[in-house]
Amino acid sequence: MATLHEIKQVLGTNGHSAGRSSSTKDITKIFGSNVFNDKVMRERLPKETYKGLRKTIEQGAPLSLDVANVVANAMKDWAIERGASHYTHWFQPLTGITAEKHDSFIAPAGDGSVIMEFSGKQLIQGEPDASSFPSGGLRATFEARGYTAWDCTSPAFLKEDSSGDVTLFIPTAFCSYTGEALDKKTPLLRSMEAVSKQAMRVLRALGNKTSTRVTATVGPEQEYFLIDKKFYDQRLDLMSSGRTLFGAPSPKGQELEDQYFGSIKDRISRFMKDLDIELWKMGVSAKTKHNEVAPAQFELAPIFTTTNIAADHNQLVMETLQKVALRLGLVCLLHEKPFAGVNGSGKHNNWSLATDDGHNLLEPGKTPHDNEQFLVFTSAVIKAVDVHADLLRAGAANTGNDLRLGANEAPPAIISVFMGEELSDILFDLAKGKKAESKGQHYLNIGADSLPALPKDNTDRNRTSPFAFTGNKFEFRMVPSSISISGPNTVLNTITAEALDEIATRLEKAKDVNKEAAAIIKETINKHGRIIFNGNNYSEEWVKEAKKRGLPNIRSMVEALEVLAKPETAKLFEKYKVLTKGELHSRYEVYLEKYSKDINIEARASIEMVKRQYLPAVMRYTGELAQIISGLRAVGVSSSVQKDLLSEISVLLDSSAKKLELLEAATKKAQSVSEAHQKAAAFRDKVVPAANELRKDIDALETLLPTCCWPVPSYADMLFKL
């Protein structure tokens, strides 16, 4: 374990990387150096305490206060040695970002001095005032207490900021006085339990005697944009809504395809290096970094891990991206569509199921038994996605994604599953009751023969699919870049749990398990094979074909959320103890409200920019043109160029002034609607189109006015001056 002193030496700085770039000389020492991980626990905890805690972490056994007291004390000593004075219970309210309230370790010693104290109770439970977090009506302000409960399966860590301040972060779940979930983590943990339980039943029925738990694993690839802070500071739209609400296209976009995997510029390389080091210290296994498709767009991928840790780490990634960018005079944009006309950002949520003894259940494997297991679990996922495509779509809904899904190279709003040609052939052959044949070499008769070796490399990948099988995992690509991955994974785990439950019930009753497994695979593909699509998801034909197949095409967040209000959705979540009806409904309300608030902010920013920046600039310029024209006339020169330009600009000026009025009226009207769904629909149907109309005129004006007269930086400035 590296001491803070060693880390400082390795980094060659005062422990944080502000100022100049950090060294990566000894990454193995840096990695996890700020984490109270298993290694530290083994070193610092008495044997019995360590064993007790491991039992809680691995098997969910209750944690005794005695064990908690010893752990808390060791954690405190470790944190103080590293410069921490405060700790915080770190949680994930429904805002989608994280929350923290810092408490110092000081306690009165009784003689006017203080001692540093941290009890088991303080470690296990916190009581933040919860009244200002969204709850969708679950918790009235008069009973504003919320509780945070330690999630000991995600390790505590230290967070340093560039001032050198160090704080102990304790990952927690957040609930109300009466135990209702007020956060994103609680249902995620519950869904992990649900999928583990049902997957274990299937495994046992298939003869597995060694595994005791199944974990949902996730590796989320994070896309983001970087722009120079001096441009960001001049754009009210970016500052208030995270995306450009106006902006004529730059002459060069992404058409040359010269950004994707292109060589990384020095400034960005420095950023990525500092970012990696900050993440590594906190135990986030940042692995891959590269330029993405759009100009100024990049990606970071970590090594996959347990879902709740992956979700915690992804929150840290998003936060650290923004922090490190600021240190280098950059701003990181996490919005799904910061710039119209070029690619947006998403998260590719790679997901699989693994046993505690190290088997990936979505790995085709080599033996007939592994193959059978793989096909059964894959069938479960296919069924889950087909039955609950709408729910999965809701899990990936946010305001920004309405602009991304179905646009430039983003997955469409229609959910389908890519299985690859070879695997699809096998599945559909099995469905027809044919002995599956692959390239004439292998015949498959589930339970007896084995699958051919399946191609696992990039050649078999379909970049256009929203839900793609990529060799030993599924990649859900619809997830928005800025949201917590907890929501989509809660859905994924729960719907898979349901499909596995149904399969387990059949297998447990079967006389011949292999025969029954084959029958299950056959029936699943016959019934749900329509969700499999290996073609181009971006094409118009697919939209038509999907309609024929009866697959939902849900274009907007407001429409996507409707499934959360359906009784059958509440039943599903209640059955697997993931969310109660009340908890689910509160989420529906909170997300609808969030949409209305987002669009309201965008509309207000648009109105302000047009009124106070664009129109005054255009009026000033038309005044100058008029003066030039009358000056020319006075000296007897008649040129139509200036006059033509003036009239073209004047037409647009008039039109934009009218459209501004319409946007103001639509916004006011939407604001006055009180019912949450109707309000959100008014923002979507009236305000968004009005704002888009206004943008057309302003963007057209941008192409007519001289650069020096335009009040804000252009797309070319933001995308290429990096």
Question: Which residues contact Mg ion by CB under 5 A?
Answer: 348
Nearer to ligand ADP, 494 or 613 (CB): 494
CB of 404 to Mg ion, least distance (A): 16
CB of 485 to ligand ADP, least distance (A): 12
Asked if 95 and 486 touch (Cβ cutoff 8 Å), the reply is: no
**DSSP character string of 488-521:** HHHHHHHHHHHHHHHHHHHHHH-SSHHHHHHHHH
Name the binder of 176 from Mg ion, ligand ADP, none, CB < 5-8 A by kind.
none
CB of 475 to Mg ion, least distance (A): 5
**DSSP character string of 291-304:** E-SSTTEEEEEEPP
Nearer to ligand ADP, 185 or 473 (CB): 473
CB of 255 to ligand ADP, least distance (A): 22
Burial state string for 595-633 with b = 16 or more CB within 10 A and e = fewer than 16: bbebbbebbbbbbebbeebbbebbeebbeebeeebeeee
Nearer to ligand ADP, 89 or 473 (CB): 473
Name the binder of 352 from ligand ADP, Mg ion, none, CB < 5-8 A by kind.
ligand ADP
Name the binder of 312 from Mg ion, ligand ADP, none, CB < 5-8 A by kind.
none
CB of 32 to ligand ADP, least distance (A): 17
Nearer to Mg ion, 286 or 500 (CB): 286
CB of 321 to Mg ion, least distance (A): 18
Name the binder of 304 from Mg ion, ligand ADP, none, CB < 5-8 A by kind.
ligand ADP
**Residue 127 burial (CB < 10 Å; 0-12/13-18/19+)?**
exposed
CB of 217 to ligand ADP, least distance (A): 4
Residue nearest to ligand ADP (CB): 219
Name the binder of 219 from Mg ion, ligand ADP, none, CB < 5-8 A by kind.
ligand ADP
Max CA-CA distance within the chain?
A: 104
Nearer to ligand ADP, 238 or 301 (CB): 301
Q: Any bridge partners for residue 224, and if so which?
A: 298
Name the binder of 472 from ligand ADP, Mg ion, none, CB < 5-8 A by kind.
ligand ADP
CB of 474 to ligand ADP, least distance (A): 9
Gap between the Cα atoms of 664 and 669, Å rounded:
9
Name the binder of 302 from Mg ion, ligand ADP, none, CB < 5-8 A by kind.
ligand ADP
CB of 528 to ligand ADP, least distance (A): 22
Gap between the Cα atoms of 410 and 347, Å rounded:
11
The residue among 521, 494, 514, 574 whose CA lies nearest residue 196 is 494
Q: CB neighbours (10 Å) of residue 511?
A: 6
Gap between the Cα atoms of 401 and 555, Å rounded:
10
Nearer to ligand ADP, 418 or 683 (CB): 418
Nearer to ligand ADP, 302 or 344 (CB): 302
> Which one-letter amino acid corresponds to residue 399?
T
Gap between the Cα atoms of 378 and 352, Å rounded:
10
Binding site for ligand ADP (CB under 6 A): 217-219, 221, 288, 301-304, 348, 350-352, 360, 472-473
The residue among 477, 375, 361 whose CA lies nearest residue 418 is 477
CB of 310 to ligand ADP, least distance (A): 8
CB of 279 to ligand ADP, least distance (A): 13
Nearer to ligand ADP, 241 or 350 (CB): 350
Gap between the Cα atoms of 679 and 665, Å rounded:
14
Nearer to ligand ADP, 197 or 461 (CB): 461
Torsion over CA of 473, 478, 481 and 483, rounded to 10 degrees? -90
Q: CB neighbours (10 Å) of residue 389?
A: 23
Nearer to Mg ion, 292 or 717 (CB): 292
**DSSP character string of 214-260:** EEEEEEEEEEEEEEEHHHHTT-HHHHHHSS-S--PPPSS-STT--ST
CB of 470 to Mg ion, least distance (A): 7
DSSP 3-state assignment of 667? helix
DSSP 3-state assignment of 368? helix
Name the binder of 301 from Mg ion, ligand ADP, none, CB < 5-8 A by kind.
ligand ADP
Gap between the Cα atoms of 492 and 195, Å rounded:
9
Nearer to ligand ADP, 217 or 490 (CB): 217
Name the binder of 651 from Mg ion, ligand ADP, none, CB < 5-8 A by kind.
none
Nearer to ligand ADP, 301 or 579 (CB): 301
- Read off the tokens for 676: 């949450």
Alpha-carbon dihedral sign for residues 648, 650, 655, 659: positive
- Read off the tokens for 14: 């005062």
Asked if 153 and 59 touch (Cβ cutoff 8 Å), the reply is: no
